[in-house]
Amino acid sequence: MRMLARRFLVVAVLATITVVAVRLSAETADPDMGARIINADAEPGNWLSHGRTYSEQRFSPLSQINAETVKDLKLGWHYDFETNRGMEATPLVIDGVLYTTGSWSRVYAFDAKSGDLLWEYDPQVPPEKAVHACCDVVNRGVAAWNGKIYVGSLDGRLIALDASTGTEVWSVATLDASEPYTITGAPRVVKGKVLIGNGGGELGVRGYVTAYDAETGAQAWRFYTVPGNPADGFESEALAKAAETWKGEWWAVGGGGTVWDSMAYDPELDLLYIGVGNGSPWNQAIRSPGGGDNLFLSSIVAVRPDTGDYVWHFQTTPGETWDYTATQHMILADMEIQGKTRKVIMQAPNNGCFYTLDRETGAFISGNNFVQVNWATGLDENGRPIENPEARYDKTGKPFFTFPSALGGHNWHPMAYSPDTNLVYIPAQEIPFLYAPVKEFKKKEGRWNNGADMALAAFPDAATTRKQLKSMTKGHLAAWDPVAQKEVWRAQYAAPSNGGVLATAGDLVFQGLANGQVRAYHSATGEQLWSFEAQTGVIAAPITYAVDGEQYLAVMAGWGGAAPLALPSALQDENAMPNVSRLLVFKVGGDDSLPPLDWEPIAWTEPPAQFAEAGTVAQGKQRYFEYCSVCHGDAAMSSGFLPDLRRSGTLSDPEFWQDIVLGGVLTDNGMVAFDAYMTAQDAEAVRAYIVDRAQLAYKDIQTGLAQ
């Protein structure tokens, strides 16, 4: 009955939309993109905004590719990019043109039917900016508005391009260049304003989102997510109130709360929703000694899109201390709950709990953990977590082995919602992490400042513990009922950090995997109906579009992002696959194919002999986890897109090693000089630690213990 009513409603709405669309095209040759996005279901062949619609459901009404025809889905065309860094973008498709971004914030426009490259744009991000990117030099896509394409560059510019030529129309600096902010998220455009946030919560910044005029680039408003120094005065009433939930001198260490990914918009309620990140530093005892909720960290905040005025918030993790961001994908939907149609907003943030909220008021409707959670024992009637006191390593001073990790039960990888099944498809992951406080905290400008002892948290020193960690570290696709708050079906994977999700009216759910497959499942049952070997890990979300009556499926392939950089020891088998950055486009009966994979893993040779005392190796480990591990991995191994330091020729060349680590001779590759932070003796100790790692790995290879 409910389904019938909904279908009837869709027909009625479609009829209205057709009228609106006709009227618009009669009035102007360039209809307002806002009206087009609001009426996106009237032109399902296009993918006009990051989540297709402002509701960010990532559900397509197209059904030519469906549970019956998907078996004949073949590669239609593909494009291999020059870089081999992570690909996270969701492409847009507008009137036959596909717009996407690659690593280093580069923008590409393709003929969506033929695959011809129409133009490309390189914002020339300085390579040394890579050191401020916690999670790879990735970009999650563009926004479009009335003939312009918008991209946020890693170094903090918001750039408007001419959609037909790729030439720059305007560019504004959204960040204070002296602070270690970055941009990796896709802009959104609402009511003629381009919205963009930023990242940097691991390095000690204060988060905000800014709105710019889509035509001119003039700043319209800025919403700070955490209060600044009270002595400077608060920017708004809301921040004055928020400051009552903070203690100590949080502004001196940053505060955090960056808005680095998700937004959604409800045109009817005229509310813009922003997802706010973790505290900076993570460790609350350092950030806000004595506790407090620390608003608006780890919250969904609703603001007015015209002014940035605060309307409501819901905080998922009060007093955040585990890097539990609420920047994860948010989905708006209307659904029947206890006999009433409710306007909900849904999120599955880092902390491992799924939330269904009333999006008009922010009131908690229901929630439950969707992955293993041990930092809390449940949610109370207001959705506030009931904490496990032992999990507060910042208070107890003792390490706590926590599920989920800082990488979250779900990270940025977009979920999808199907109104046909009323299920949310979550690219979930199970990764534990040992949180332990640092003994002493001193903010290091421009470097990691999370207040957690990363060296203690690392497991890579014995083959057994490495194997144990790996066996606990998994991923899965969960089909989640947001009303009953329970899992309906699951596809289990050996590795975490799998791709984002697309749901379609063809009863399908599409997802790319860390293991290099792109798969289709039946949306109701989870039955696997199709797969394709992409020859490289996939983390981005697929989209679907149509040109000339033919439906296509597109996905950016290419392994990268936070998890493979920081946690290679627990991910896909080392060197099981190369990293290829490519765009794959499929259609029923497509006739393209990938070239055979011309690749072999680099052979191991015997590493140099250890030259240092055990104490020096230990010191090197400490320095490695302070400065190096976030890019070079917890075990100094590679996940396919940065050099494997254990097999680096420079290990046996102490002079060249110093030139790189302290002299910055590889700055053009993104490896900046660390001479402001490390002495020559520190750098040599790091070399000793990596020699130790290389010997352990080489021994594992010889004895067959290796991954």
- CB nearer to Ca ion: give 201 or 427: 201
Q: How far is the CB of 279 from Ca ion (least distance, A)?
A: 9
CB nearer to Ca ion: give 452 or 508. Answer: 452
Tell me how far, at minimum, the Cβ of 224 lies from Ca ion, in Å.
18
In angstroms, give the least distance from the CB of 202 to Ca ion.
5
Minimum CB separation of residue 400 from Ca ion in Å reads 18
Query: Which residues, at least 6 apart from 414, have a Cβ–Cβ distance to it below 8 Å?
Result: 51, 56, 58, 90, 329, 427, 500, 501, 541
CA distance 44 to 70: 19
Q: Does 323 bind Ca ion (CB under 5 A)?
A: yes
CB-wise, 394 or 644, nearer to Ca ion? 394
DSSP string computed for 330-345: EEEEEEEETTEEEEEE
Which one of the spans 244-252, 320-328, 486-494, 558-566 is the region binding Ca ion (CB under 5 A)?
320-328
Question: Considering beta carbons, is residue 320 or 487 the nearer one to Ca ion?
Answer: 320
CA 577/CA 618 separation, integer angstroms: 32
The CA distance from 268 to 20, in Å, is: 16
User: Smaller CB distance to Ca ion: residue 407 or 588?
Assistant: 407
Instruction: State which amino acid sits at residue 278.
Output: N
- Residue identified by tokens 């940097």 is 200
3-state secondary structure of 253: helix
- Residues with Cβ < 8 Å from 626, sequence gap 6 or more? 447, 448, 454, 455, 677
693 strand-pairing partners: none
- Pick between residue 263 and residue 335 the one whose CB is nearest to Ca ion: 263
The span of 154-162, 177-185, 318-326, 457-465 binding Ca ion (CB under 5 A) equals: 318-326
- CB of residue 433 to Ca ion, shortest distance in Å: 12
Decide if 102 contacts 89 (C-beta within 8 A): yes
Q: Which of 323, 453, 682, 692 is catalytic?
A: 323
Q: Which stretch binds Ca ion (CB under 5 A): 48-56, 119-127, 321-329, 606-614?
A: 321-329
C-alpha closest to that of 406 among 384, 434, 427: 434
The DSSP secondary structure of 531-584, one letter per residue, reads: EEE-SS---SPPEEEEETTEEEEEEEE---SHHHHH-GGGSSPTTSS----EEE
Using omega within 30 degrees of 0 as the cis cutoff, is the peptide bond preceding 607 cis? no
Least distance to Ca ion from the beta carbon of 486, Å? 28
Q: Edge to edge, what strands does the sheet with 340-347 contain?
A: 330-337, 340-347, 353-358, 364-369
Q: Which is nearer to Ca ion, 201 or 516 (CB)?
A: 201
376-415 footprint of Ca ion as x/- string (CB under 5 A)? ----------------------------------------
As measured in angstroms, the least distance from the Cβ of 641 to Ca ion is: 20
Q: Does 278 bind Ca ion (CB under 5 A)?
A: yes
Give the residue among 216, 180, 182 at the shortest CA–CA distance from 198.
182
Part in contact with Ca ion (CB under 5 A); list of ranges 207-215, 276-284, 300-308, 460-468: 276-284
Phi and psi angles of residue 357, each rounded to the nearest 5 degrees, phi first: -120, 155
Judged by CB, which is closer to Ca ion: 199, or 670? 199
Give the other-Cβ count within 10 Å of 247's Cβ: 15
How many residues in the shown chain lie near Ca ion by CB under 5 A? 3
- Tokens, residue 106: 């580069």
**Residue 80 annotated among the catalytic residues of the structure:** no
Q: How far is the CB of 219 from Ca ion (least distance, A)?
A: 26
Stretch that binds Ca ion, among 68-76, 122-130, 153-161, 193-201 (CB under 5 A): 193-201
Site stretch for Ca ion (CB under 5 A), options 272-280, 447-455, 473-481, 492-500: 272-280
Could you give the CA distance from residue 36 to residue 20 in angstroms, rounded to a whole number?
10
Give the interface with Ca ion as residue ranges (CB under 5 A): 201, 278, 323
Q: What is the set of active-site residues? A: 323
